[in-house]
Amino acid sequence: MTTLDHHTIRKDAADTLRRLGWHQGNYIAKGPARTRSYRSVCMVEALGRAAGLPPAALGRSKCPAENMIVQWNAAQDLMIEIAAALGYDPGRGLNPRGFLTNWNDTKGRTFGEVLGALEGGGSA
């Protein structure tokens, strides 16, 4: 089975945020459906796109298509990895995606902190 390199996904996610812009509050900034691929995104959405998933795929509870399972699993594993580095506690009832979404959306969070978490140097 093919695997995706976490370092490459992290780098591509950071590049996605630099290119499209960082967003808080939704996975993708609001706007016309035809521009969905070009609007600012949150950290979780950037990870999904960097892993090769379609827009909003990580907002779902399961893989959107059988032929995307490698990308889905890579994104899920990486969310666990990044969440753990940021202080994720599974005993608090959130899954890693929920933790990262809340972390991304925390008032006062900065673009620099999000890039740092993606590039491996982030902390809570």
**The pLDDT of residue 122 is above 60:** no
Count CA atoms within 13 Å of residue 23 on its CB side.
19
Residue 54, domain member (yes or no): yes
Count CA atoms within 13 Å of residue 20 on its CB side.
27
44-84 per-position pLDDT tens digit = 999 999 999 998 899 888 998 999 999 999 999 999 999 99
What's the pTM value of the predicted model, to 2 decimals?
A: 0.88
15-42 per-position pLDDT tens digit = 999 999 999 998 888 776 666 667 889 9
Domain of residue 28, residue span: 6-118
User: Which residue from 87, 96, 85 is spatially nearest to 119, judged by alpha carbons?
Assistant: 85
Residue 23, domain member (yes or no): yes
Structural domains counted in the chain: 1
Residue 103, domain member (yes or no): yes
Main-chain dihedrals φ then ψ at residue 36, nearest 5 degrees: -55, -35
Residue 61, domain member (yes or no): yes
Work out the pLDDT band at 123, boundaries 50, 70, 90: very low
Joined together, the tokens standing for residue 90 give: 């599974």
Residue 1, domain member (yes or no): no
Pick from 3-7, 51-55, 57-61, 107-111: least confident? 3-7
Residue 25, domain member (yes or no): yes
